[in-house]
């Protein structure tokens, strides 16, 4: 729901800019440039900052796919970044992958000889 409100605000700003600058001030070229800037900044802010923040703090929606051949074990939050642990039976390793804002700084921890699915 919060994501829809965010994009509603961005689209509202775009429409307001088109109306005020493009129609009222009769400068369509400036209005189109301003709306393009608003859309790029809005998309960048969402992708690089707000997406995981919305999911963690306000109940947004996010989809992460487990790579083929791996088994999902757990997921946890560290600050505003999501860490997911998967098990790869082909290499007998546990993989912790970080999904950070905008996927720029993705951490990865590999635990070798990890076999969590076999009872001891």
Model pLDDT for residues 65-89, shown as the tens digit of each residue:
899 999 999 999 888 788 999 999 8
Nearest residue to 100 via CA among 68, 73, 62, 69: 62
Is pLDDT of 117 > 70? no
Reading the block at residue 16, the tokens are 């307001």
Secondary structure of the chain as H, E, C letters: CHHHHHHHHHHHHHHHHHHHHHHHCCCHHHHHHHHHHHHHHHHHHHHHHHHHHHHHHHCCCCCCCCCCCCEEEEEEEECCEEEEEEEECCCCEEEEEEECHHHCCCCEEEEECCCCCCCC
Q: Model pTM greater than 0.85? A: no
22-66 pLDDT tens trace = 888 888 899 999 999 999 999 999 888 888 888 888 887 778 889
């Amino acid at each position: 729901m919060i994501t829809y409100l965010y994009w509603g605000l961005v689209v509202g700003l775009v429409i307001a800019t088109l109306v005020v600058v493009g129609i009222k001030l009769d400068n369509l070229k400036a209005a189109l440039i301003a709306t393009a800037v608003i859309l790029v900044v809005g998309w960048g802010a969402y992708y690089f900052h707000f997406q995981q923040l919305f999911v963690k703090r306000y109940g947004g929606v996010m989809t992460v796919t487990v790579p083929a051949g791996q088994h999902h074990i757990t997921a946890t939050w560290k600050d505003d970044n999501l860490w997911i642990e998967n098990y790869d039976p082909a290499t007998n390793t546990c993989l912790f992958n970080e999904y950070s804002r905008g996927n720029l700084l993705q951490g990865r921890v590999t635990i070798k000889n990890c076999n969590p699915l076999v009872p001891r």
